[in-house]
Amino acid sequence: MALQSRGALLSSFEGTFGVSESLLGLVAPAGTVGFVVAILAVGMLAGRLDVRHVLVFGAVAMAISLFAISVAPAYSLFLFALLVQGSAAGVFRAMDRPLLSHLYPDRRGRIFVLYALAWAVGAVVGPVLASAVLLVADWRAVYVILAVSIVPVVVLVLSLEVPSWNEQPLERDAIGPLLSSSGVRTTLLALALAGGIEGTVFTWLPYYAGTFLDRTTANLALSAFLLAYIPGRYAYAKLVDSISYLRLSLVTTGLSIPAFAIALGWPSVGMLVAVFCAGAFISSLFPLLSAYGVDIVPEYSGPMSALTTGATYAGTAFVPVVVGIAAELTSIRIAMWIPIGLTVVLFGLIWSMPARAEVSEAGTA
């Protein structure tokens, strides 16, 4: 929820610290950079680390950094606390999904979808929580609440008996074969495309909708997109045990193409329906493709989970910039067709991927 609540608090940050919009733009990368670096660094070393110690460290660091955000007296310290908080979240995330992967190897897809469903709930609840708190208190209270909410997580991790797992240490000479595997490379490319599509919607959909709708209604477009992740991922959690990851991903990607096209070709409040459908379809991609990637090298679930997350965030960061440049050169209406084009490319890429990648292909079996 910490990540998703920032958008609702940007104006409050601006009022408190008196910074320009350009400096306000540092809020997003401050947390994201720390997150990506931490999840890659810790994830690649997952087989050498004590899972309980890492989870506890990450959770405690998150709680402390969230509290530090709430009391930051200057904008520079505020950004530094965001960087630490993002890094702490990356440390925790580097271990939690790999642990689940080893605990439920036969139901990895369903567990990953349920895990992503929890993220979707946070994505919807975070902005609502922030807006509700602002009605009665200062923005700093939001981060105090978030810090306190981490305490039960620390207690739970300390009280649980963490089982042994068969995560193998990733040796240096195995990194090359892992990254050179066509299955791994294709999976990472697919996730980068999926991240780019999602990132463009997260960044530009309200702006685009604001060209023909009032600002309040335009903001509802993104809310509709994110809200659709909850029923969408709940449905995929039910379906994934009976339909292969790629077949389900192929169907949802194919359906998302006309949904996006209708949303962009329907410049009225009716686009919200198409946006909701597009969100429900596209919500399948990250958990299903991540599970497919981990299935290639299940003994290296930590590094593979880190790589899949890193690829997704790379797409999320890069493609919206391209869309912004295209919008400046042409118009936002034309630029918003870029994610539709990427969805078509992604459909073709998933179509070309084998239903089950060979584990030995990575050269690590």
Rounded Cα distance between 39 and 32, Å, is: 11
Rounded Cα distance between 37 and 95, Å, is: 14
Rounded Cα distance between 133 and 149, Å, is: 15
pLDDT tens, position by position, 237-276: 999 989 999 999 999 999 999 999 999 988 888 899 999 9
Three-state DSSP class for residue 117: helix
Residue 97, pLDDT > 70, answer yes
Rounded Cα distance between 225 and 281, Å, is: 10
> What is the value of pTM for the model shown?
0.84
pLDDT of residue 81: 96
pLDDT of residue 236: 96
pLDDT of residue 361: 44
pLDDT of residue 163: 66
Residue 95, pLDDT > 60, answer yes
pLDDT tens, position by position, 303-340: 999 999 999 988 988 898 899 999 989 999 999 999 99
Side chain identity at 77, as an amino acid letter?
L
Mean pLDDT score of the chain, rounded to an integer?
89
C-alpha to C-alpha distances, 102 to 106, 298, 316, nearest whole angstrom: 9, 8, 28
Q: For the chain, how far is it from start to end, CA to CA, in angstroms?
A: 38
CATH superfamily of 172-354: MFS general substrate transporter like domains (1.20.1250.20)
Q: Give me the residue label for tokens 């310290």.
A: 77
Enter the tokens of residue 169.
Answer: 């240490």
Question: Which residue ranges make up each domain of the chain?
Answer: 2-159, 172-354
Q: In 204-245, which ranges are E strands? A: none
Q: In 86-143, which ranges are E strands? A: none
CB hemisphere CA count around 154 (13 angstroms): 14
**165 in Cβ contact with 99 (< 8 Å):** yes
User: If pLDDT is split at 50, 70 and 90, which confidence band does 10 have?
Assistant: confident
Rounded Cα distance between 364 and 175, Å, is: 9
Look at domain 2-159 and name its CATH class.
mainly alpha
